[in-house]
Amino acid sequence: MKPIRKLAFVINEDKTGAVELARTLMAIAKESGAKLKLTTRFPVTPGFLKGFDACCVIGGDGTLLGVAREAVREQVPIIGVNRGSLGFLTTFSADEARAHFADVLAGGFKVEKRSMLECSTGRGAHDLALNDVLIKDEVNSRLVRLEVVADNELVTDYYCDGLIFSTPTGSTAYNLSAGGPLVHPAAEVIAMTPICPHTLSNRSIIFRENVKLRVFNRTITSRLLVALDGQRNLKVGIGSPVEISISKLKLPLAQRLDYSHFSVVRAKLKWNGGAAEAPKSGV
């Protein structure tokens, strides 16, 4: 990749060690001659990343999600440095960032393009999500009846606490907690997982890349809440469907050259099982 000459920093001051780490990385960036910009506010304001080569986010996955919409619109790669807990998106550890930041600034990184969901709840009410779109009752965690239509074909009615529509990137988030599948981030699909469905045979469904999904509220006494990445909400008009599809925009996410998705999954989910021994010839 090209060297990074203009670098923005987004720092979550509430994360232990984030400010100190930022000082170290900014000193490395200054030594490389990069022009710097800094904020501790997220979501970032529109235009914050305009004209920059990359954005270094120091915090947790929630911090990165607060930058994702602006980064995807400006097509600015995000370098995620984890000072949170799991950190599926902020894949650089603090030690890795300190050791390799100069190499990254010199162009020693690769960029993965991550799918995002486009969600609309009516005229003028639309937004993007990197992880997931959650549809549930607006006030209570009570059962709602949600009708799902894919490309004008009825899928089924779900009587459940809600539905999670997840990108492959977001499959390790709320989708996983609700019993949904892990999906490789390069897959061009949408995973739909019901939350506590009343019918035990209701399971996750994987939809193809260019599917157009519509969700109708069939519980007359309920108003719906549509939450994007657990950070922003869209209101749903009475009788209006929630429309979900894969956006044409993809988020550029910077990774180390030796980045391995399954290595990250094994580490974050603490999969401790060793590889099975290969059978010997003739056995």
Active site residues: 61
Residue 117, classed as helix, strand or coil, is: strand
Q: Which two tokens stand for residue 224?
A: 């719906």
- Cβ 137 vs Cβ 224: under 8 Å: yes
Residue 174, classed as helix, strand or coil, is: helix
217: Cα within 13 Å, side-chain hemisphere: 25
- Cβ 73 vs Cβ 1: under 8 Å: no
Residue 27, classed as helix, strand or coil, is: helix
- Cβ 258 vs Cβ 76: under 8 Å: no
- Cβ 225 vs Cβ 135: under 8 Å: yes
Burial class (CB in 10 A: 0-12, 13-18, 19+), 263: exposed
Name residues whose C-beta falls within 8 Å of residue 60's C-beta, 6 or more positions apart in sequence.
12, 15, 82, 83, 84, 85, 86, 87, 90
